[in-house]
Amino acid sequence: MSAALAYDSFDDYVAFCDGIRTLAKIDLSQYKRGQMERRLRTFAERRGIKSLSEYLAVLKQDADELEQFLDRLTINVSQLWRNPEQWAAIGRTVVPELASAGRIRIWSAGCSYGAECYTIAAVCLEQAPNVRLEVKGTDIDPRMLERARIGHFTTEDARSVPAASLARWFDKTDLGWQAKPELRKLMSFDRGDLLSMRFTPSAYDLVLCRNTVIYFNEPVRDLLHERLVTTLRPGGFLVVGSTERVGVAGSLGLTLAQPFTYRKA
């Protein structure tokens, strides 16, 4: 962090979080402080602003600046078939078990621009072509959801997709790959803040929450996992990212079915 940055004697980070909660209804205090604070101070510094108090004042006065801040706040990194070995395992074991019921209802919580949603839809249909599939994606970032609805991905996004899957589910464009209508029609995307949204009990057979809770502090992460589990029907699965685990799995009635994949009792 630059020594040039001025620090207020009171906790300007806490004051900034309070201000953003009022201004944008986003509760930054539930994210990991070290990581979030570094990012916020870097944003401010890049705008030539020397303190978080001053940055908050600018955001309050300037709607464009606030929009740009919100755009940069979330980390939207994703890709199709991210961690391909996870998708291969889900296709082999989870999908056949769920497909035996004839219908799979899926929620991608923190879906970014939808890569995970299109991936799971393709993985399910490759294993179980006749299954009825509903894929919902939610994210806090409306810009990402607009992209998700379009279903267009760059060549870089598609770098881990098996060649046969790419050819089967996507059309080549000048800039990358467009998901075919038969995948797009299975998708719905809604804005949802995982820290404040309502959770519908037993609404899903499979919940994906990957690379999203890593930004939250531990108590918030555990509470979120608990709430996600309530949205699963008994026998449903929760999938987390390849660097994550459910800290409170046992007390939530979860057993590890395979790496990063939990089955609800």
Binding of ligand SAM by 49 (CB under 6 A):
no
Binding of ligand SAM by 66 (CB under 6 A):
no
Binding of ligand SAM by 171 (CB under 6 A):
no
The residue with tokens 């919580």 is 109
Per CB under 6 A, contacts with ligand SAM among 131-150 are 139-141, 144
| Beta carbons of 13 and 52 less than 8 angstroms apart | yes
Interface with ligand SAM (CB under 6 A), residue from 105, 152, 207, 211: 211
Of 7 and 215, CB closest to ligand SAM: 215
Interface with ligand SAM (CB under 6 A), residue from 42, 51, 68, 74: 74
> Using CA atoms, how far apart are residues 190 and 168, in angstroms rounded to an integer?
26
Binding of ligand SAM by 193 (CB under 6 A):
yes
Amino acid letter, 205: D
Contacts of 22 (CB under 8 A, 6+ apart): none
CA atoms in the 13 A half-sphere facing the CB of 136: 16
Interface with ligand SAM (CB under 6 A), residue from 82, 105, 136, 225: 82
Interface with ligand SAM (CB under 6 A), residue from 36, 49, 90, 195: 195
Per CB under 6 A, contacts with ligand SAM among 237-256 are 241
Of 199 and 215, CB closest to ligand SAM: 215
Amino acid letter, 236: G
Cα 150 to Cα 28, 132, 145, 189: the distances in Å are 29, 22, 9, 10
Cα 128 to Cα 91, 157, 261: the distances in Å are 9, 25, 19
Binding of ligand SAM by 205 (CB under 6 A):
no
Of 236 and 241, CB closest to ligand SAM: 241
Tell me the three state secondary structure of residue 239: strand
Residues in contact with ligand SAM by the rule CB under 6 A:
74-78, 82, 110-112, 115-116, 139-141, 144, 192-195, 210-212, 215, 241
